[in-house]
Chains A and B, each alone.
Chain A
Amino acid sequence: MRIQSLAFLLVLMQFSLCFVRAEATDKIDFNQQIRPILSDRCFSCHGPDAETREADLRLDLQESALGVISPGKPQMSDLVERITSDDPDLQMPPAEFAKPLDQKQIDLLVQWVKEGANWEEHWSLSRLDRPEVPKTKQNKGAGHPIDAFISRGLTKQGLSFSESAKPHTLLRRLSFDLTGLPPNFKKVQEFTSDHSDEAYSKYVDELLNSPQYGERMAIYWLDLVRYADTLGYHGDQVRSVSPYRDYVIQAFNNNKPFDQFTIEQLAGDLMPDATIEQKIASTYNRLNRASAEGGVQPKEYLAKYSADRVRTTGAVWLGSTFGCAECHDHKFDPFTTKDFYSFAAFFADIKELGIVSGAKHIELLQVPTTAQSDQRNTLNSQQQLAQQKYDAQTPELTQAFSDWQEQIRNSKETWNLLTPELVTADQGTTLTIVDDGSVLASGKNPVKETYRVTYRLPETGDSDQLPLTAFRLEVVPDPSLPAQGPGRAGNGNFVINAVEIKHADQNVEWASSTGSHSQGGFLAEFLGQGNKKGWAILPHIGKNQHVTLFPKKPVVITKTAETKAKTVSLAIVQTHGTEHNLGKFRLYVTTEEKLSDLYLYPKPAIRLIIQTDISKRTPEQVAELQTYFRKHTPQLAAARKEIAGIQSSQKKLEASIVTTLATKAGTPREMRILPRGDWMSLDGEVVEPAVPHYLPQPEIKDRKLNRLDLANWMVDRSNPLVARSFVNRLWMLFYGNGLSHSVDDLGAQGEPPTHPELLDWLATEFIESGWDMKHLVRLMVTSQTYRQSSDVSAIMRENDPYNKQYSRQSRWRLDAEIVRDNALSVSNLLVQQVGGVSVKPYQPAGYWAQMNFPKRTYQHDAGDNQYRRGLYTHWQRTFLHPSLLAFDASAREECSAKRERSNTPLQALVLLNDPTYVEAARVLAQRILLEAGKSDEARFTWAWHQVLSRNPRAEEILLLNQLLQSNKKHYEQTPEDALKVQKIGLAPVSDQVNPVELATWTAVSRALLSLHETITRY
């Protein structure tokens, strides 16, 4: 026993993590050492969830826990007895729980009871107070506050800071961390020669003030809020929200205070006199996954969207895991099911639909650019002027109006009825010629049918020839037809898909057609256009209707024509397919010219008004007539054309303006607790909006809380979680891990912070600075802690494998977007335009083949949009761009607070073969040839500077030179291969480079872009 303990102690001493040392000297720290054990091993049955609580014992509450603990007296504590017992009936946790306590944990718990069972509130929920900055021997109270906190910890462990990173490494680190781009090599050289604090500070400011800072920070924020360009469920259709992404970038660039940033996103639409920017920000509430699948039950999906918002908002601002409380009280944190649905009630005012198919989005907020706004104003005033011109009443118009009416009154349309001679039907309908010149269908009514009738044409009379300018097919009701006809479908309707007329063996070609009445979607006009959708007449059945067809050239009959030219044959084609055939019809012709001119031959309704005595016309008729006249009089043709031109420009402009799904508030939906998340249940209690019960409550008591109240509560000074969570995550961006490693969970199951006082100091500093994000970032990157080398010695690795004491910097592979940005940047292909709609880089063909509703093919962008930063990539949730996916970009279906950093063969394949990287290598090679001098050595050195910000080592050149030489040999022998390399990617090739040389150096560049060092931040 004793020997074992001794060995154990020795191991612990070597291991020397902070708590182990602390154990020997300091008192046990409840939050650091005890709560995590109780939470992980006991709360499941003795925690916040009442449903699964055993023995009415809660070990998450001191009062209840004291029932089984006698402080200072382990031997009298039930808890100690149970956890040390071998008796299966007594032993805790019970064997079936499958998560036993190990000896170390038991010892800690016993020791803790012995020391008096000190109890503390959970660290992240405790009041946020500003700790004193430690005074250390080195800083004597001055110096960088972060270093003061960190060095206190280091001293305690007998550790010290590493030396500063080499200038080129440091600048590279800083540049990637603040902008996501590598430094320009000139800057590296400048900094290498002067890396004073002042010079460093200057670079920090320069980078913070560059527009690329906002882009880099946005990458992380967009992961949190799960920003994407598509719906996410099933058909994963596109929806437009890119203005929100640009809002986020601008917010970081303009250093919008974080409290404002928070309020605008959660409730920008509810702010008094909300600006368009604030409304755009409220798109946050609409970023959830949504479905457009037919057969979706709207209520089920509204419940899904609602739960999604609770999970996400809890995760983004509170660093809390609320998701599980959708079905049951949280097992480890005090968050209850009632808290879950009360929190959801804040968002119940958001207008939305359960099924979000195409046009059904609610509140597509237009977000015009300045140029678009200007153009809109110009067009509006142009339109007003043109409209005035059009509306103006002149004596000439008055005269013309009266002349026109006179003319119409005196004119008449003459239609000559043609006599049918021969009738047949392809599918066996019985067609009978009736005395009044009509043809009546009876007998069999086939699914589809074509009627064929030959008509005798009129004689030419005195003239030598007669030009027929139009044909009119009249459809006629008849008592023998269903619902009186004129069609044979059950409801009296029909669909005529084509009317064909043949004269002298020639098919008559139609110029246009018009009808007395058309059913929606089945227009008489289709017949003249050759559109096979056809003409139908619902709901005006049981009446005569007609369609007039105008030939491109008049059909001319001559006196001396042969017999067959004295007839026409009509075919009425009916292919709709549901027995929608015509029942009775007549055919007329006319020789009137300009019959298609609606000015000279107005539609029957207008003609009727004109024929009505002026004194008897209703005001509506007077107005209708005026409008019709203006619409058709040749005198206003120019004005009409102008208006049409302006309207077409307006339409084009409006369609080109980007929209976003802003939040639109309505009457809040009733929110109930859904027992076990069952959306069909109406058994649960109705709840009002409320913040989690265990957190400081808003002061508003006299009215129902709303989303704006929630937003304000988030950033209230008394909220202990928001600043802690955000600061912890910022720390991760610059140090690799959060001060509490579990950046996604600050609850009982999360890891307590390694430096709780530093975290609290940073959080209060953040709030007291006015939620100044850049201030905080500057603080983090100017510390000595940040500027240390990331080199790891064997001792460090042994003493502090996870770098929890920060005796060195951390190193990590760049984020997916930044791997891309880096390659484009060093090749100079990167187009540095901030914001805009999402873009489509090259993507392997067929990658989208799985998608449907609708099926789509990916068309990559050409021009500038091919070379934009990774964060602008079209974010297709179900099929995220494969290069980004390979490097662990989040599909953004759920909040992601920390990306995995994997290391896979797929990443190697992307760097080796993705045309984006091969093209970048080719263009980099071209730069090498044009900018780096003539000797191979000069070229290697130059390339190294661009890609790695440092000088090459001799052995590196040796290796790379072998690659160069053998590729040179290869391409000299097969110059056709060199030409193939040249064609990869859209970027043009300079005519000043030799293709063989270009291909050779492309190989070298590919090697450089594929290096581990190239994609790693050291």
Chain B
Amino acid sequence: MNKQFHDLHAHVLLQQRRSFLNRAGTGLGAVALASMLKQEIVQAAPGTGQAGVLKELHHPQRVKRVVHLCMAGGPSHLETFDDKPKLREMHGQAMPESFTKGQQIAQLQGRELKCFAPQFEFKKFGESGQSICEQFSAIGSMADDICIIRSMHTDQINHDPAHALFNTGSSIAGRPSMGSWLLYGLGQETENLPGYVVMTSVGKGGQSQPIAARQWHSGFLPSRHQGVQFHASGDPVLYLNRPNGVSFDQQKQLVQTVNGLNKQFDNVVDDPEIATRIQQYEMAFRMQTSVPELMDLSGETKETFENYGTQGGDGTYASNCLLARRLLEKGVRFVQLYHRAWDHHGSIKRSIEITAREVDQATAAFLKDLKQRGLLEDTLVLYGGEFGRTPMAQGSGRDHHIKGYSMLVAGGGVQGGTSYGNTDELGYAAVENPVHARDIHATLLQQFGIDHKKLTYKFQGLDFRLTGVEEARVLKEILT
């Protein structure tokens, strides 16, 4: 960065080293300290740097970054990636009770259940000939790079707990999200940006589902691992901008003074937290430049804007996709986009048309862009919602549905042009190779080189892990 900061930083490092030596004492003491440090690793005591707790990986690492394109609201699998000719045939007829008896139902409780045909045609895309709804032809153009999972299922039939389950593995609040687990395990690579960034967008095709900040919270893990939300308007990161009437240089000097005073006080009290505090002020100051730089799209080409279908800066999903690529380029480990427009209880045909326009082109452009820049091979891309929608009609729409839905996976180590699992002939339940969020979690960690059973954190007496206590499976079949 700038020289003054370099000097300050060097001074702090020197100071730390000196303190370290003072604290370490004799050779034998150093051994004891090492064992103490080891204990800290196991217990994840508050650390200072950006490193994660894992000293070595359990498997070879296939990906360095992950992006989760969360289609919030519960996208219908039947109008996106899971065509059901039999359901078309049975349109308007009663849904066979053998499917629905004793199953959970949300808003259709106590109503007559009738089959509702997929509202669009499906086409074959790519050399692989993957079957995808015609409304998503741009995503279709990337069919050979995508694995479609058609056998997702979940336990939670309402939005909030279902998102919690997908993000944290549990519908109980207070558990860390998958991004936080990754940072906890592996640390972050970025020095000027958070390691876990979240952005949201709204659409015109459905009610905007509320998304709680809990969805990207670190739960019981140290809160430095929580996701940081970037905003399209106002301060891109909360409290990032300096106060009115304060210039860049003044703010810089202020931070330097604070750190200088902190350092002097450390000389008196010898408190390791102070060195950390100094680092945090430096990082905060760097973010005041690096975040606006990141959000500034003036360096992007006209072609890029056209590909994504946005001019940027407007908070749309397309604009967020473009920002996501920039974040991934900078080494941000986990990027999560929420498009809050998929809750289509009524008028699903029209709603899908609208939402497809918001999502299809941008998602495809994003994938292509990652591929062209060579990022796709070590980035894992997850695309999908918190649940699917019923094969039964809810007026002209569909209700929440948990027994079967679809999701896309692409990027590092994933076999493109393939599909995995299937729902039954009416698209009701995942019957072939069912996949649960925890299987996705296990797979995600695996791609990062982590055995999901070995990344744990002790809380309330238990060794918690992202995949929880139920059996979780790495989806080896979809990996290269």
Binding site for B on A (CB under 8 A): 10-11, 14-15, 98-99, 232-236, 289, 291, 293-297, 300, 321, 323-324, 332, 680, 742, 744-745, 747-750, 790-792, 794-795, 797-798, 801, 811, 813, 844-847, 849-853, 855, 877-880, 882-883, 885, 888, 891, 893-894, 896, 900-910, 912-915, 918, 953, 955-956, 959-960, 962-963, 966-967, 970, 977-984, 999, 1003, 1006-1007, 1010-1013, 1016, 1018
Known: A844-B238, A893-B173, A910-B239. 20 other contacts (CB 8 A): A14-B32, A98-B453, A289-B173, A323-B460, A749-B461, A791-B270, A844-B235, A850-B200, A877-B214, A882-B238, A891-B214, A900-B222, A904-B280, A906-B238, A909-B287, A963-B254, A963-B257, A984-B244, A1013-B262, A1016-B271
User: B432 interface residue, CB < 8 Å from A?
Assistant: no
Q: Is the beta-carbon distance between B284 and A903 smaller than 8 angstroms?
A: no
Name the CB-closest residue of B to A234.
Answer: B160
Asked whether A963 lies within 8 Å of B210 as measured between CB atoms, the reply is no
User: In angstroms, how far is the closest chain B Cβ from the Cβ of A810?
Assistant: 11
Q: Please name all residues of chain A whose beta carbon is closer than 8 Å to the beta carbon of B16 when the two chains form the complex.
A: none
Q: Tell me the bound Cα distance from A960 to B106 in angstroms.
A: 62
Contact B25–A794 (Cβ < 8 Å)? yes
B261 within 8 A of A: yes
**Docked CA distance A16–B303 (Å):** 66
When A801-B36, A853-B210, A906-B239 are in contact, do A1011 and B157 touch as well, CB less than 8 Å?
Answer: no
**Nearest B residue (CB) for A850:** B211
CB 8 Å contact bits of B234-264 with A (1 = contact, 0 = none): 1101111111111101110111011011101
Q: Does B269 contact A (CB under 8 A)?
A: yes
Give the nearest-CB partner of A1010 in chain B. Answer: B258
Given contacts A297-B104, A811-B271, A1016-B273, contact A966 B253 (CB under 8 A): yes
Cross-chain contact of A11 among B32, B273, B285 (Cβ < 8 A): B32
Q: For A794, A851, A977, A983, which residue has the most chain B Cβ atoms within 10 angstroms?
A: A794
Q: A849, A902, A905, A1018 — which one has the most chain B CB atoms within 10 A of its CB?
A: A905
**Is residue B11 contacting chain A, with contact meaning CB distance below 8 A?**
no
Query: Contacts A232-B173, A913-B242 given: A852-B209 contact, CB under 8 Å?
Result: yes
Cβ contacts A to B, 27 pairs, < 8 Å: A11-B35, A14-B32, A233-B158, A234-B210, A293-B158, A293-B159, A295-B400, A790-B269, A792-B271, A794-B24, A798-B32, A844-B238, A850-B213, A852-B208, A853-B207, A900-B220, A904-B280, A909-B239, A915-B243, A970-B247, A977-B247, A982-B245, A1010-B258, A1011-B265, A1012-B262, A1012-B273, A1013-B265
Q: How many residues of B contact A (CB 8 A)?
A: 95
Q: Is the CB of A885 within 8 A of B277?
A: no
Asked if residues A905 and B287 are in contact (CB atoms below 8 Å), the reply is yes
Neighbouring B residues of A294 by C-beta, 8 Å: 107
B320 to chain A, nearest CB (A): 14
How distant is the Cα of A956 from the Cα of B262 in the complex, in angstroms?
10
**A745 to B220 Cα, complex, angstroms:** 14
- Give the residues in chain A near B160, CB-CB below 8 Å: 233-234, 291, 293
Query: How near does chain A come to B167, taking the closest CB pair, in angstroms?
Result: 13
Is the C-beta of B421 less than 8 angstroms from some C-beta in chain A? Answer: no
Docked-complex contact A959 and B224, CB < 8 angstroms: no
Beta-carbon nearest neighbor of A750 in chain B: B461
**Given A293-B159, A845-B234, A915-B243, residue A908 in contact with residue B281 (CB < 8 A):** yes
A-B residue pairs, 3 tightest by C-beta: A749-B461, A980-B245, A878-B212
**In the docked arrangement, what's the CA distance between A10 and B28, Å?**
8
In contact, A894 and B238 (Cβ under 8 angstroms): no
A794 pairs with B245, CB closer than 8 A? no
Q: Are B462 and A324 in contact (CB under 8 A)?
A: yes
Q: Tell me the B residues contacting A by CB distance below 8 Å.
A: 22-25, 28-29, 31-33, 35-36, 46, 102, 104-107, 109, 157-161, 172-174, 194, 200, 207-214, 217, 220, 222-224, 228, 231, 233-235, 237-247, 249-251, 253-255, 257-258, 260-262, 264-265, 269-271, 273-274, 276-277, 280-281, 283-285, 287, 340, 399-400, 453-454, 458-463, 469
Distance (Å) between the CB of A884 and the closest chain B CB?
12
* Contact indicator B264/A955 (Cβ below 8 Å): yes
Q: Is B454 a contact partner of A98 (Cβ separation < 8 A)?
A: yes
User: Smallest CB-CB separation from A922: which chain B residue?
Assistant: B243
Contacts of A915 in B (CB 8 A): 243
B253 x A1012 contact (CB < 8 A): no
Contact A902 B224 (CB under 8 A): yes
Known contacts A844-B238, A846-B234, A1013-B265; A885 and B213 CB within 8 A of each other = yes
Complex interface: chain A residues within 8 A of B260 (CB): 959
Most chain B C-beta atoms within 10 Å of own C-beta, residue among A853, A904, A970: A904
A880: contacting residue among B36, B157, B213, CB under 8 A: B213
Describe A's contact surface by its main secondary structure: loop
Decide if B264 touches A959 in the complex (CB within 8 Å).
Answer: yes
Known A798-B33, A912-B255, A912-B284; contact A981-B246, beta-carbon cutoff 8 A? yes
Min C-beta distance of B71 to chain A, whole Å: 16
Question: Distance in Å from the Cβ of A1009 to the closest Cβ of chain B?
Answer: 9
**Given A798-B33, A909-B240, is A903 in contact with B276 using a C-beta cutoff of 8 Å?**
yes
Nearest residue, chain B, Cβ from A749: B461
B261, B400, B461 pick with most chain A CB within 10 angstroms: B461
Note all chain B residues with C-beta closer than 8 A to A902. Answer: 46, 222-224
Complex CA gap A23/B253 in Å reads 55
In the complex, the answer to whether A903 meets B273 with C-beta atoms within 8 Å is yes
What residues of chain A lie closer than 8 Å to B173, measured between beta carbons?
232, 289, 891, 893-894
B254 proximity list for chain A (CB < 8 A): 912, 963, 1003, 1006-1007, 1010
CA distance A967 to B287 in the complex (A): 23
Task: Name the distance in Å between A888's Cβ and chain B's nearest Cβ.
Answer: 5
Residues of A contacting B262 with CB < 8 Å?
Answer: 1011-1013
Per the bound structure, the CA–CA distance linking A15 and B194 in Å amounts to: 37
- Identify the closest chain A residue to B157 (Cβ): A297
Bound form: Cα–Cα A794–B241 in Å: 40
A728 to B78 CA separation, bound complex (whole angstroms) = 55
- Output the residue of A291, A801, A979 with the most chain B CB within 10 A: A801
Q: Shortest Cβ distance from A454 into chain B, in angstroms?
A: 42
CB A835 to nearest CB in B, in angstroms, measures: 27
Within 8 Å CB of B208, what residues of A? 852, 855
Task: Report the bound CA distance from A551 to B241 in whole Å.
Answer: 59
A906–B109 Cα distance when bound, in Å, is 45
- A981 engages B261 (CB within 8 Å): no
Q: Within the assembled complex, what's the spacing in Å between the Cα atoms of A962 and B262?
A: 16
Q: Are A792 and B284 in touch, CB under 8 angstroms?
A: no
Chain A residue numbers with a CB within 8 Å of B233 are: 845-846
Least Cβ–Cβ distance between B154 and chain A, in angstroms: 14
A15-B32, A323-B172, A959-B260 known; A999 vs B224 contact (CB < 8 Å):
no
In the complex formed, the residue of A with least CB distance to B211 is A850
The residues of B that contact A894 with a CB separation of less than 8 Å are: 172-174
* Complex contacts, B217 vs chain A, CB 8 Å: 891
Given A14-B28, A680-B104, A980 contacting B244 (CB threshold 8 A): yes
Q: Are B210 and A236 in contact, with the CB atoms below 8 A? A: yes
List of A residues within 8 angstroms of B209 by Cβ:
852
B104: min CB distance to chain A, Å: 7
Q: Of the candidates A791, A794, A885, which one forms a contact with B269 in the assembled complex, judged by CB atoms under 8 Å apart?
A: A791
Instruction: Choose one: B210, B220, B250, B284; the contact of A909 (CB below 8 Å).
Output: B284
Q: Which residues of A contact B241 (CB under 8 A)?
A: 913
How distant is the Cα of A11 from the Cα of B469 in the complex, in angstroms? 37
What are the residues of chain A within 8 A of B240 when measuring CB–CB?
909, 913
Contact A900–B213 (Cβ < 8 Å) = no
Q: Nearest residue in B to A962 (C-beta to C-beta)?
A: B257
Closest CB of chain A to B259's CB: distance in Å?
A: 9
Contact of B258 among A15, A749, A795, A1007 (CB under 8 A): A1007
Q: For A234, what are the chain B residues with a Cβ–Cβ distance below 8 Å?
A: 158-160, 210
Complex Cα spacing A10 to B24, Å: 16
Residues of A within 8 A of B265 (CB): 1011-1013
What is the CB-to-nearest-CB distance from B7 to chain A, in angstroms, rounded to a whole number? 14
What's the least CB distance linking A860 to chain B, in Å?
15
Chain A proximity of B469: nearest CB distance (Å): 8
A905 CA / B282 CA spacing, docked (Å): 8
